[in-house]
Amino acid sequence: MSQKILVTGGAGYIGSHTVLQLLLGGYETVVIDNLDNSSDIAIHRVRELAGPNAQNLSFRKGDLRDKPALEELFASEKFDAVIHFAGLKAVGESVQKPLSYYDNNLIGTIILFKVMAAHGCKKLVFSSSATVYGWPEKVPCTEDFPIGATNPYGRTKLFIEEICRDMYQSDSEWKIILLRYFNPVGAHPSGHIGEDPRGIPNNLMPFAQQVAVGRLPALTVFGTDYNTVDGTGVRDYIHIVDLADGHIAALSKLENPSIGCEVYNLGTGNGTSVFQMVAAFEKASGKEIPLIKSGRRAGDCETVYASTDKAERELNWKAKYGIDEMCEDQWNWASKNPYGYESQESTT
Ligand code: UD1
């Protein structure tokens, strides 16, 4: 019998790609999402891409802080595991509105964990972030590095990781995998689902994409004086489909009786500079991205990339795609949906 997985935040960028891989992998999937920062069109598109497996997807509009609704959901369906994506994720906004971040991310998560425990569902995959490594003393980052946070968004990831470790300490029935994502980019190769941020994008590739389609005039490069190959910041960009597949590998790992609370990096192990990424995207799109060189962005670090050893060894998972494929698929999504899911010009 197939497993039934609850995916919180399943209409978002990482969530929607993961839901598609789950369906294609034969899982039954229930999505709960408040659609505050995502679109139900993503769910429709996932259904189209899943073909006959679309019948295994159901969607509930709901907020994790609505405990009675969550209770009702867990009373009506039995879940084998939960993949928990739902949360706010803009660093700058989190500095402006810390209580909103603590309320959404922490309160929502605590209510989710309480309801899970009450219904005997104690298998969890949580979306953490490489942000917990801060400015690492050395690279590649291994999972045993010291962790911290420099802004409220990062603190919510850090706190939830700690809450998970405490839960496992108090009750060894919990099986928890914390996935630390590096920089997810690109889109499903169909170009039907992708990242669709509201407002001006904070992250590099969504911003570059909006410049390429003519929505924004130029990309500001935050810092050209880092001690890197060309002075710009270096990150570990990972194709969103590879990242989504990492969740399937994590679910399989949760079947291992000896798993407690474990953390894994999901990255490629390769560092790419801003200039290198822009050049790859210009090549993929055939568009010139005008650049404005500017000072460093507060809170940014110089070079961050993952050690992938632990995930390769223990999850039997390894990223398959390189930056050319990431940029090609990003452009395919952008050119088909220049204004995202609500795009009038959408060809789908
Ligand atoms: C950012 C967040 C991080 C979060 C992650 C995923 C910050 C400081 N960090 O990571 O906490 O987990 O997103 O959402 O916001 N860049 C430009 N111009 C731009 C945008 C970015 O030059 O318009 C540069 C940055 O300086 C950096 C690189 O591109 O060197 C990647 O930036 P970004 O995509 O925002 O990711 P991170 O900063 O790694």
Q: Where in the chain does DSSP place strands (E)?
A: 4-8, 28-33, 57-61, 81-84, 123-129, 175-181, 183-185, 219-222, 234-235, 237-239, 261-266, 272-273, 291-294
Work out the average pLDDT over 227-254. 98
More reliable by pLDDT, 347 or 130: 130
Contact 182, 304 (CB under 8 A): yes
pLDDT at 1: 76
Mean pLDDT on 66-87: 98
The yes-or-no verdict on residue 310 having pLDDT over 80 is yes
- Look over the chain and give the mean of its residue pLDDT values, rounded to a whole number: 97
Record the pTM.
0.98
Rounded Cα–Cα distance for residues 107 and 127 (Å) = 16
According to the model, what pLDDT value does residue 348 have?
A: 42
| Pocket probe mutation, ligand 1, options 132, 227, 297, 302, max atoms within 8 Å of Cβ | 297
pLDDT at residue 256 is higher than 50 = yes
Ligand 1: which of 151, 183, 196, 294 to mutate, most ligand atoms within 8 Å of CB?
183
Task: Say what the pLDDT of residue 342 is.
Answer: 85
Average pLDDT over residues 302-329: 98
Is the pLDDT assigned to residue 11 strictly greater than 70? yes
Cβ of 169 below 6 Å from ligand 1: no
Residue 345 has pLDDT above 80, yes or no: no
Average pLDDT over residues 302-315: 98
**Ligand 1 atom closest to Cα of residue 277:** 29
The Cα–Cα gap between 39 and 59 comes to: 12
Phi, psi of 116 (to 5 degrees): -55, -50
pLDDT tens-place string over residues 96-137: 999 999 999 999 999 999 999 999 999 999 999 999 999 999
Amino acid letter, 105: N
pLDDT for residue 346: 42
Q: Do residues 14 and 21 make contact, with C-beta atoms less than 8 angstroms apart?
A: no
* 279 pLDDT more than 60: yes
Residue 76: the pLDDT is 98
284 CA to centre of ligand 1 in angstroms: 21
What confidence category does residue 212 fall into, taking pLDDT thresholds of 50, 70 and 90? very high
Q: Exposed, middle or buried, 150 (CB in 10 Å: 0-12/13-18/19+)?
A: middle
The percent of residues above 90 in pLDDT, for the chain, comes to 98
Q: How far apart are the first and last CA of the chain?
A: 34
Q: Tell which one of 95, 181, 204 to mutate to probe ligand 1, the residue whose CB is within 8 A of the most ligand atoms.
A: 204
Asked whether the predicted pLDDT for residue 343 surpasses 90, the reply is no
pLDDT at 125: 99
Q: Which contacts qualify for 48-54: CB closer than 8 Å, 24 or more apart?
A: 48/192, 49/20, 49/188, 49/190, 49/192, 49/193, 50/20, 50/23, 50/24, 53/23, 53/24, 53/26, 54/23
Which residues, other chains included, contact 1 with Cβ-Cβ below 8 Å and sequence gap of 6+? Answer: none
- CA distances to 99, 177, 245, 251 from 32, rounded to whole Å, are 22, 20, 20, 18
**Mean pLDDT calculated for residue range 229-239:** 98
Query: Looking at residue 261, what is its pLDDT?
Result: 98
168 included as an active-site residue: no
* pLDDT single digits (tens) 137-170: 999 999 999 999 999 999 999 999 999 999 999 9
Check pLDDT > 50 for residue 344: no
Q: What is the pLDDT of residue 324?
A: 98
Give me the half-sphere count of Cα atoms (radius 13 Å) on the Cβ side of residue 199: 7
Of the residues 153, 226, 237, 321, only one is catalytic, namely: 153
Residue nearest to atom 4 of ligand 1 (CA): 131
Distance of alpha carbon 77 from the chain centroid: 25
Q: What is the mean pLDDT of residues 301-307?
A: 98
Give the span between the Cα atoms of 77 and 121, in whole angstroms. 11
Q: Phi/psi zone of residue 139: left (φ > 0), alpha (ψ -120 to 50 degrees), beta?
A: beta
pLDDT of residue 347: 43
Residue nearest to atom 11 of ligand 1 (CA): 131
